[in-house]
Structure 1
Amino acid sequence: MTTPANVLPLQNSDEQQLRIDLAAALRLAAYYDWHEGVANHFSAAVSPDGRKFLMNPRWKHFSMAKASELLLIDADDPDTMKRPDAPDPSAWSIHGAIHRRVPHARVALHLHPPHATALAGLKDPSIKPIDQVTARFYNRLAIDMEFGGIASEEAEGERIAATIGNHSNVMMANHGVTTVARTVAEAFDAMYHLERAAQTMVLAYSTGQPLNVMSDELAESVAREWDVYKDAEMSHFEEMKRVLDRDNPGYAD
Structure 2
Amino acid sequence: MPEHRQQRVDLACAFRWAARLGMHESIANHFSVAVSDDGTKFLINPRGKHFSRIKSSDLLFVDANDARTIDRPDAPDITAWALHSEIHKRHPYARCIMHVHSKYATVLACLQDPVLPPLDQNCMRFFERVVIDTGFDGMGLGDEAQRVSQALDGKPVMLMGQHGVLVASATVAQAFDDLYYFERACETYVTAQMTGKPLRIASVRVAQKTARQWMEDYAGFADQHLAELKAILDEEGSSYAR
Of 131, 141, 149, 1:161 maps to: 149
Specify the SS of the correspondent of 1:123: coil
Q: Distance in 2 between matches of 1:102 and 1:197?
A: 25
Which consecutive unaligned segments of at least 5 residues does structure 2 have? Answer: none
Q: Distance in 2 between matches of 1:248 and 1:189?
A: 23
2:13 maps to a residue whose letter is A
- Pairwise CA RMSD of aligned residues? 1.1
Q: How does 1:101-180 map to 2 (within 5 A)?
A: 101-151=90-140, 153-180=141-168
2:185 maps to a residue whose letter is A
Specify the SS of the correspondent of 1:189: helix
Q: Distance in 2 between matches of 1:41 and 1:51?
A: 16
Of 201, 204, 211, 2:199 maps to: 211
Q: Distance in 1 between matches of 2:180 and 2:47?
A: 23
Which consecutive unaligned segments of at least 5 residues does structure 1 have? Answer: 1-8
Specify the SS of the correspondent of 2:240: coil
> Is residue 77 of structure 1 aligned with residue 66 of structure 2?
yes
Runs of 4+ that moved beyond 6 A? none
1:234 maps to a residue whose letter is D
Specify the SS of the correspondent of 1:142: strand
Q: How many residues align?
A: 241
CA-CA distance at 1:248 after TM superposition: 6.0
The residue number in structure 2 matching 1:6 is: none
Q: Distance in 2 between matches of 1:127 and 1:243?
A: 31
Taking every aligned residue pair, what percent have the same amino acid on both sides?
45
CA-CA distance at 1:180 after TM superposition: 1.0
Q: Distance in 2 between matches of 1:208 and 1:248?
A: 45
The residue number in structure 2 matching 1:32 is: 21
The residue number in structure 2 matching 1:191 is: 179
Specify the SS of the correspondent of 2:180: helix
1:167 maps to a residue whose letter is K
> Is residue 244 of structure 1 aligned with residue 233 of structure 2?
yes
Q: How does 1:78-97 map to 2 (within 5 A)?
A: 78-97=67-86
Specify the SS of the correspondent of 1:50: coil
- Scaled by the length of structure 1, the TM-score of the pair is 0.93
Q: Deviations over 1:16-51 (max 9, x none)?
A: 100111111011100101000000000000000000
The residue number in structure 2 matching 1:200 is: 188
